[in-house]
Structure 1
Amino acid sequence: MPIHSYTAHVQELEAFGMGYPLHGEARDRAVLGSWRRCIDQHRLDPSRTSEAHIVPAGQLRAHREESEPLIRIARSGLERLYQQLKGLDYVLLLADRHGVAVDFLGHDSDASDLRSAGLYLGAQWREDVAGTSAVGTCLATGEALTVHQSDHFDFTHTRLSCTAAPIYDLQGQLAAVLDLSLLRSPAARASQQMALHLVTAAVRRVELANLMAQSSSDWVLRLAQSPDFLDVDADAALSVDARGRIRAMTHAASRMLASIAGLNWRQQPLLTGQPLGRFFDTDLQALPQLMRNRPAQERILRARDGSIWFAHALPPQPRSSAQASPRP
């Protein structure tokens, strides 16, 4: 059951909209920012409730076709995460950049309840449609977050607890959102800390897989702050072209490079195309020394800001004869 009654929920939102201080449960800054957008920008009525909006089948098909490469890469990561959570009643959604759920993992026996709650294929979770939600607010902010029960703007969704993390493409654009939700959850918001950790780790692996799939002709640098995890679960990764310039990177790598150079990570075009030596005390010729034929503890990469990283360099993959020969 929701923590708030319908009346208490609407009164809190209306008081917030009029600028009165909130009493009782503390709200995250991201939640309050979303409430403000819902009221001021999207002109949503706090007293209005509506079940989840499911897009028509033809529209869903178009969204899935647009996201097909990412769905294919992310699917194994979603299945692995779902198996980790087996028996805990979590539902996984992969929503595209438009807020539409294009992939889904959940219990078939709960299909009717999940569909009415919006935890289903084709559900539209943009803020201007559904109000404050993990998917919609993640799309609006670009940050991982939890929207727990009465954090939701629409009272219809206040029984849900949802945790989401953004998936960025290689150009630094927010391409999708991975959401982990519960139809029924413990009252305490802190109960979802594990979900936040798991969903951000899964997103990091999806971005890494996407980088590896699209960087076969480049050097790839996998980076970690600890040598113990370098070869099994890197923190970040980037690709370097034949001129020694950075071609693409995961989101964690863009944050890292921006921090090293004192730039804003949201301006990834300022990072892409830069020589590797701008950020690290190394260049293209030194990358073979960072390959796996040396112990991870010896593959040290010093950043220009003084930080120390451990690196695993993967050389460009040789083109097969099928790739090299022109198509008739």
Structure 2
Amino acid sequence: MDGSTDLLLPKHPAYRHTYDVYSVIAGGLAPPNIEEVSTSWRRSACQYGINPDKSEAPNILTLKEVESHRQALDDLIFCAQEEIDHLYKVVRDAGYTVLLCNRTGVAVEHRGDATAADQFKNWGAWLGGVFAEELEGTNGIGTCIAEERSVTIHRSQHFRSRNTDLSCSGAPIFDIDGTLMAVLDVSSVDPGLSESAHGLAGPLTIKSARAIEERYFRTRFRKEWIVMIVPPEDDSNAMLLAVDAGERIIAANRSARDTFHLQNDAFPSGLSLWTIFVKDADLFRPTKAEDLPKTLTRQGDFSQWLVLATPPQKASSLLYGQKDVALHTRPRLGLLGALKNLPPKTTVYGGLSPRTMRRVCEYIEQHFSERIQIAELAGIASLSIYHFARQFRVSAGVTPHIYITRKRLEVARTMLTQTDLSVTEVALAAGFSDQSHFTRLFRHFVGTTPARFRWSQR
């Protein structure tokens, strides 16, 4: 932009902010620091009809009104106390307040300096403040709810001109069914707070939100095995599975649901953990009631995944040992770095060599729609049928027949979700002999019929 054009831009910060808002809404290029929230700006104006120059102060509910919103989150609030206290201890000296908000943007729990209460209330950043995006436009709480992702909003990134002295960072907290449950937020009303300084608040808030989410999950399923899983290439957010005595997955946090494509209809019947990983008979047999670190092999690509298995809480602890309860439900996110440094998995003697196993699996991948004879696979491995079947099971944790069936079901699930082929056509394309055979196996392994599965995905 040349100097002559620059002279036409408004000089007063409030007017300049309004100019930028309307420019973005009209389809103009967003300033560099606005690009990430430009979609929210457009949503605030076009969908919610909010005036960026709206001067009214945010709405703050009475304590009685707040209580009605708190009740639905009582269990979460109880689990969150320690993490909220710790987060506030870290950010307090920097002049922040900490807010826990429900999914409608109401602050139902907070930590803040009572001497600065009036100042925070002026922006609504206090107990009872309402920060839904449809009411306040772009902000760290409301936009986090709208987009279900962590959001850091610094001063002029807010939609309303009135809020351009406010800085906030919000992180979502997801329920055990993967839906948004709450938002953890830290907010500052310091007009001199730099963007780089405020940038430090985001990671702290995310870390605390993940810890609250994990503690809540572990508390809800403290009578089951909790398996924390670390992906091979990313230890930023662990996946959590609740596994029953039959080694079936009965619950999963949002990260695990997304990674392993787990749907709600898989949980009532219980999905075996060994449909995802090669079976390890020692995982659920610890000699002591303590965390057990292991390395599991992923079905299909045979990649190595670190896990930390926490045994079910003992009945005696549930009744008498509050210290044991706290120990059992504490977050393990801080152990991820230590898990990465575990010694390599002990070599298991027997089984096919990695090279032979890869050749066999590649053949199955290419010919799953055809009738595959075990003799063909044994030939690829240069072994007798009997010896091949036994060694394959050692390597994969299942028989060749079950492995092939799972591969076909995996393909069928994708086709049911992404195509309009009939169930019969999907069955034949995936290599099953007929629809009834396909439906019977699908119900056994997935826990529902192909038709119901397809309906649940749309």
**TM-score normalised by L of structure 1:** 0.83
Structure 1 position 37, deviation (Å):
1.1
Residue of structure 2 aligned with 1:9, choices 10, 14, 17: 17
Equivalent in the alignment of 2:425: none
Structure 1 position 321, deviation (Å):
11
Equivalent in the alignment of 1:326: none
1:36 and 2:32 aligned: no
Equivalent in the alignment of 1:59: 65
The structure whose residues are more often strand, as a share, is: 1
* 84-93 or 104-113: bigger deviation: 84-93
Distance 1:276 1:321, change over 3 A: closer
Within 1, Cα distance between the matches of 2:295 and 2:287?
11
Equivalent in the alignment of 1:109: 115
Residues 53, 162 of structure 2: 8 Å contact kept: no
Within 1, Cα distance between the matches of 2:183 and 2:200?
18
Equivalent in the alignment of 1:309: 305
Within 1, Cα distance between the matches of 2:20 and 2:69?
36
Please state whether the residue corresponding to 1:12 is helix, strand or coil.
helix
The structure whose residues are more often helix, as a share, is: 2
Distance 1:61 1:295, change over 3 A: closer
Residue of structure 1 aligned with 2:272, choices 265, 270, 275: 275
Equivalent in the alignment of 2:33: 26
Structure 1 position 215, deviation (Å):
0.9
Residue 15 of structure 2 aligns with an amino acid whose one-letter code is: T
Within 2, Cα distance between the matches of 1:175 and 1:295?
28
Structure 1 position 254, deviation (Å):
3.2
* 127-136 or 44-53: bigger deviation: 44-53
After superposition, residues 118-157 of structure 1 pair within 5 angstroms as: 118-157=124-163
Please state whether the residue corresponding to 1:67 is helix, strand or coil.
helix
Structure 1 position 187, deviation (Å):
5.5
Residue 79 of structure 1 aligns with an amino acid whose one-letter code is: D
Q: Structure 1 runs of 4+ off > 4 angstroms?
A: 185-188, 270-273, 289-296, 320-323
After superposition, residues 72-111 of structure 1 pair within 5 angstroms as: 72-111=78-117
Structure 1 position 64, deviation (Å):
1.2
Residues 254, 271 of structure 1: 8 Å contact kept: no
Distance 1:8 1:253, change over 3 A: same
Please state whether the residue corresponding to 1:167 is helix, strand or coil.
strand
* 175-184 or 267-276: bigger deviation: 267-276
Please state whether the residue corresponding to 2:141 is helix, strand or coil.
helix
Within 2, Cα distance between the matches of 1:184 and 1:109?
15
Q: For 1:45-70, what per-residue CA distance to the aligned partner results, in whole angstroms no more than 9, with x for missing partners?
A: 22222211112333211001221111
Please state whether the residue corresponding to 1:85 is helix, strand or coil.
helix
Distance 1:250 1:322, change over 3 A: closer
Please state whether the residue corresponding to 1:54 is helix, strand or coil.
coil
**Aligned residues with identical type, % of pairs:** 29
Residue of structure 2 aligned with 1:254, choices 249, 254, 257: 257
Residue 236 of structure 1 aligns with an amino acid whose one-letter code is: M
User: Gaps (5+ residues) in structure 2?
Assistant: 1-10, 320-458
Return the structure number with greater relative CO, CA threshold 8 A, min gap 6.
1
Residues 173, 180 of structure 2: 8 Å contact kept: yes
Residues 291, 308 of structure 2: 8 Å contact kept: no
Residue of structure 1 aligned with 2:243, choices 227, 240, 257: 240
Please state whether the residue corresponding to 2:210 is helix, strand or coil.
helix
Residues 166, 190 of structure 2: 8 Å contact kept: yes
Residue 277 of structure 1 aligns with an amino acid whose one-letter code is: W
**TM-score normalised by L of structure 2:** 0.61
